[in-house]
Amino acid sequence: MVTAHSDVTLALIAALPFIGALFPGLMIRAGRDACALSAGWATLSALILLLTLSPSVFAGEAVVFHIDWLPMLGLNANFLLDGLGFLFACMILGIGLLIILYARFYLDRDDPIGQFYTYLMLFQGAMLGIVLSDNILLMVVFWELTSLSSFLLIGYWKHTVAGRQGARMALAVTGMGGLALIGGVLLLGSIVGSYDLTDILHQREEIQASPLYIPALILILLGAFTKSAQFPFHFWLPHAMAAPTPVSAYLHSATMVKAGLFLMARLWPVLSGTDAWFYIVGTTGLVTMLVGAWIAIFKDDIKALLAFSTVSHLGFITMLLGFGTTTAATAAVFHIMNHTIFKAALFMTAGIVDHETHTRSIKRLGGLRHLMPITATIAIITSLSMAGLPFFNGFLSKELMLEEAVHTVWAGNPFLVPVLATLGGLLSATYSFRYIAHVFLGPERQDYPSHPHDPPFGMYIAPALLAAMVIVIGIVPQATVGPFLQVVADAVTGEHLHLHKLKIWHGFTPALGMSVIATLGGLALIASYPALERFWARLPHPDAKAMFDNVVDGTTAAAARLSANLHNGRITKYVAIFGVATIAAGIYAFLQGEHMAGTRDLLPVTIVDVVGAVLLCASTIAIVNYHRSRLLTLVLIGINGLIVSVVFVRLSAPDLALTQVTVEVVTLILLLLALHFLPKQTPRESGLSRRMRDLSIASVAGLAVGALAYALMTRDFTTISDYYWTNAKPGGGGTNVVNVILVDFRGYDTFGEIIVLGIAALTIYALEEALMEGKASRRLINWVHDSVYSKDRHPLMMVVATRLMMPISLMVGVYIFLRGHNMPGGGFIAGLVVAIALLMQYMASGFAWAQERQRIPYHSFIGWGVLIAAITGVGAWFASRPFLTSWYGYFHFPPIEEFELATAMAFDLGVFLTVVGAVMLALYCLSRIARRTGETVNIAPMDYDPSAPEREEEQI
């Protein structure tokens, strides 16, 4: 296969259905016709664009288009159009266009048709993505989109229990298969070293020689079998028939269930030809063909009959692909084409019968040829094709299948496959004849639920066109589809085949004899159907849905028990499990590894180090011992933080020391306010034995972490810090390596962190809003705190001091912000410093006084901070640089000295605003709760007049 050219048309074809999905919901106000046209134009446009590429495809070439998406992960938006992709794209768009027309007349006026077309177009786009993908990871993305969009379509009639259950079942089965497929394609890509299909399809020997071939094959086939309803995963398809008939005609005959077949056909050149492929794929297809056909014969619901017949024909095609020969693969793709045509028409006729008679029960039908002659004619033609009778397209591919079955040996037995294939054809003829005889033939009845008649032209024109194709292909196959089949077969097999011309008569061959036996056997069985039905009634009938529900219920119950046992709300239990698992992993690694003495000398230990270590250990032990006293614990944690800050200074990390000190101050103030609403003592929750257990685990874990830290610090190793140290100035324009890392090298991390910080603050605000309403609000109003407060809660000295310090603190914050790129400081520390200055105003003068003077809502601080940081990052794109790449330069404006400006300053401004906004929003929320409690905290501004009436009071 030669690559012709790169054409952006491929990407446009894949995108058009998704674009078209935007319009039906908007156009529904203009009427049902406008809604259908808005969906149809996208499908028709994509089909026309696809046909413009047909000359290249028919020339045996491939059209490609590549877009780098995530190249480091191997995930690229690469598209490929060859014969196989062209066949499936034509099916998806051509049948899709007919379904859009059919659904316009089928759906009731009460049905939200705009929603239906939106779901349909989303599914259409996902299916096109699968068949046009040149990257297997991209294919998996679209694969999962088909599961989600089909869930919406199957459950479109949300008011029906069957619809909801069918949608859940389809999503569960195909979703689990999708997970298996992800594993399979990852293994396949790791074998080849690429996830692009154009690379994979040329590595047959390497793939089949790999020890990962069998695991990859099984996982990929699980994805294909679940999607294409192969035994034992076939049960979801009949239950999906609870969907509207246009969905059944599109998803379950022409598109979704064909996705698994497409996957097997697409990977056929590299996965087929082995015993594993033959016995797994061939046997699964053969069993599915027989099981589906046998069940279909006895179904009373006409859609259920067609559903199980679809299962059978999907098995038919899978079996052919499993045979592993080029002739069988050609027969498989030919039957994919034929089955799509006659089965889509059959589902549409079933929908017409249901629409006109208000029933799908075969026992309540019969004689409809007298009342619905057009529908009956279409149904009979397509049913005879499904039965495999001459002069209809289904006969041609059935003959090819039987011919291949004659030459197939299973486990050394040359007769097993031909006999079972003939039996499959016999059962297929039986349910096809039953659909004709029991629904359309026989005398006219007088007890139809609704008096039937042929539908409007708009409803039967789509199946009529398909029925015409059935006859035309069946009579002149070579002229109509011969050259096209050649192109498709070459694409599937990866070879340039020399196919025999398609024709009806091949002489007296074993396949013809098998076909005659199947047809006559089908007529005999339908003639003796009452006796056959009594025999069926005596057989056990395993209910797949009941088994599926039992499995789901059992799994849910087991998961609930496990979750209740593990996630019982005890943090000590979680930490214990994590600690024990970590210790076990560490011990295993220690015992498996080699041990050598450290190569680095320890730093000299001074008296300051000893005092600091003793204080740190003492305060930590005190926290553990007095942890039930919340206030004391908070103070001790603050002491720990200050000691750690000193350690940072000792180790020449002033940025970290500044950050630690400011964080400790802000955290202490906010937690003190939060503790106001909590009991001063926590209850004793653990007995002595549990405390001793926890002590043992914690001690071992602490010693293990200490030993690991010691082992790392006494050994030489190379870290990325050397790179940062070397490139901070030339790459980021700053000499403060820590700040350059935060705003340049690891700016994306920082950007994510400020988003998380803002979300946390907004979440606190949302929770506080909930507390201010309903029962929680009434409890806050009636709450009486048990503490006695001082009458002088805002001392005049503190008020004066904080107001004098306010401008100085703000100036210090600005200074720390501006110096951050070259000296200790930056937006985060500056934000905390300014937040502390504002916090002191609230503490000294009271919340109400400070709040009256606050002009900008704290929400906007967060929003502007994230927005400024994002705009700074996007700005790099205009210089063709990655997101958040900083730029800097030196400027000289007399009489000012030369100075540096960097875009990182704008990013740091975003960090600054987000930090200030998050801290102050948290304080605002806690203070509002305090006010709601009715607790009195006198506001004592400088102009306070003791003789004046009591002013608003609040709790701080």
- C-beta neighbour count of 103 within 10 angstroms: 26
Residues 946/792, Cβ–Cβ less than 8 Å: no
Does the CA dihedral 269-275-277-278 come out positive or negative? positive
Cβ 278 vs Cβ 322: under 8 Å = yes
- What number of residues does the chain have? 956
Nearest to 408 by CA among 418, 420, 400: 418
Residue 662 half-sphere exposure, CB side, CA atoms within 13 Å? 27
* Rounded Cα–Cα distance for residues 2 and 8 (Å): 18
Q: What is the mean pLDDT of residues 432-452?
A: 89
* Rounded to 5°, angle at Cα 762 from 756 and 768: 140
Instruction: Check if the beta carbon of residue 38 is closer than 8 Å to that of residue 29.
Output: no
Give residue 228's identity as a one-letter amino acid code: S
For residue 145, the model assigns a pLDDT of 93
Percentage of the residues of the chain whose pLDDT score is greater than 70 = 93
Q: In the predicted model, is pLDDT for residue 792 greater than 80?
A: no
Top pLDDT among 887 and 205 is at: 205
Q: Is 413 exposed, middle or buried (0-12, 13-18, 19+ CB in 10 A)?
A: exposed
* pLDDT one-digit tens code per residue, 98-135: 999 999 988 888 888 888 999 999 999 999 999 999 99
CA distance 153 to 771: 40
* Inter-residue long-range contacts of 665-671, CB under 8 Å, 24+ positions, other chains counted: 665/832, 665/836, 666/832, 666/835, 666/836, 666/839, 666/919, 667/638, 667/641, 668/634, 668/638, 669/836, 669/839, 669/843, 669/923, 670/919, 670/922, 670/923, 670/926, 671/634
The CA–CA distances, whole Å, from 381 to 20, 203, 338, 464, 617 equal: 34, 44, 13, 10, 88
pLDDT, average across residues 511-521: 92
Average pLDDT over residues 252-276: 90
User: Residue 5 pairs with which residues in a beta bridge?
Assistant: 63
The amino acid that residue 569 corresponds to is G
Percentage of the chain lying above the pLDDT 90 cut: 36
**CA 360 to each of CA 310, 606, 754: distance values in angstroms, whole numbers, following the listed order:** 17, 90, 59
Give the CA radius of gyration of the chain: 37
pLDDT at site 940: 35
- Mean pLDDT, the chain, rounded, equals 86
Distance CA 346, CA 382 (A): 6
pLDDT of residue 281: 94
pLDDT of residue 954: 37
Q: How far apart are CA 125 and CA 145, in angstroms?
A: 9
What is the structure's pLDDT at 411? 85
Instruction: Give the span between the Cα atoms of 737 and 721, in whole angstroms.
Output: 9
Checking if the pLDDT of 471 tops 80, the result is yes
Q: Are 776 and 920 in contact (CB under 8 A)?
A: no
One-letter amino acid at 871 equals I
Annotate 62-91 with DSSP letters as a single string.
Answer: EEEE---SBGGGTB---EEE-HHHHHHHHH
CA 887-757-837 angle, 5° bins: 85
Q: What is the mean pLDDT of residues 770-796?
A: 66
Q: What angle do CA 802, 806, 809 make, to 5 degrees?
A: 115
Assess whether pLDDT exceeds 90 at residue 290: yes
Residue 865 token pair? 């901070």
H or E segment to which residue 900 belongs: strand 899-902
Residue 142 above 70 pLDDT?
A: yes
Band the pLDDT of 711: cuts 50, 70, 90. Answer: confident
Which amino acid, 347? F
pLDDT digits (tens, 9 = 90+) for 796-855: 888 888 888 888 888 998 899 888 888 888 888 999 898 888 888 877 877 667 767 767
Instruction: Quickly list H helices, 324-415.
Output: 326-357, 368-371, 373-387, 393-406
| Average pLDDT for 43-62 | 91
Q: How large is the average pLDDT for residues 77-95?
A: 92
- CA-based nearest residue to 20, from 102, 121, 116: 121
pLDDT value of position 790: 58
* Structure token digits, residue 710: 């010691």
Collapsed DSSP state (helix, strand, coil) of residue 890 = strand
Check: CB of residue 519 under 8 Å from CB of residue 210.
no
End-to-end alpha carbon distance in the chain: 77
Q: Which residue spans within 544-646 are E strands per DSSP?
A: none
- CA distances 281 to 261, 528, 746, 927, Å, are 11, 34, 49, 68
Tens digit of pLDDT for each residue in 368-398? 998 999 999 999 999 999 999 999 998 999 9
Given a contact cutoff of 8 angstroms between Cβ atoms, the answer to whether 382 and 500 are in contact is no
Check: CB of residue 83 under 8 Å from CB of residue 31: no
Which DSSP helix (H) or strand (E) runs through 773?
A: none
Tell me the pLDDT tens digit for each residue of 660-686. Answer: 888 888 888 888 777 777 777 877 767
Question: 198, 508 in Cβ contact below 8 A?
Answer: no
**More confidently predicted of 27 and 37:** 37
Distance CA 165, CA 548 (A): 11
Q: Name the 3-class secondary structure at 606.
A: coil
The two three-digit tokens of residue 282, written as one number: 């061939």
pLDDT confidence of residue 219: 95
Q: Is the pTM of this model over 0.75?
A: no
Reference 314, options 281, 347, 346, 345; nearest CA is 281
CB under 8 Å to 845, separation ≥6 — which residues?
Answer: 794, 799, 802, 803, 939, 940, 941
Confidence band for 181, pLDDT divided at 50, 70 and 90: very high
Q: Are 380 and 436 in contact (CB under 8 A)?
A: yes
Give the pLDDT confidence of 529-575 residue by residue, as tens digits.
Answer: 889 888 888 888 787 778 888 888 898 899 988 888 888 777 778 88
User: In the predicted model, is pLDDT for residue 939 greater than 50?
Assistant: no
CA distance 675 to 692: 28
Task: List helix spans (H) across 440-570.
Answer: 457-475, 477-493, 510-527, 529-538, 544-566
Give 215-247 pLDDT, tens digit per residue: 999 999 999 999 998 988 888 888 888 888 999
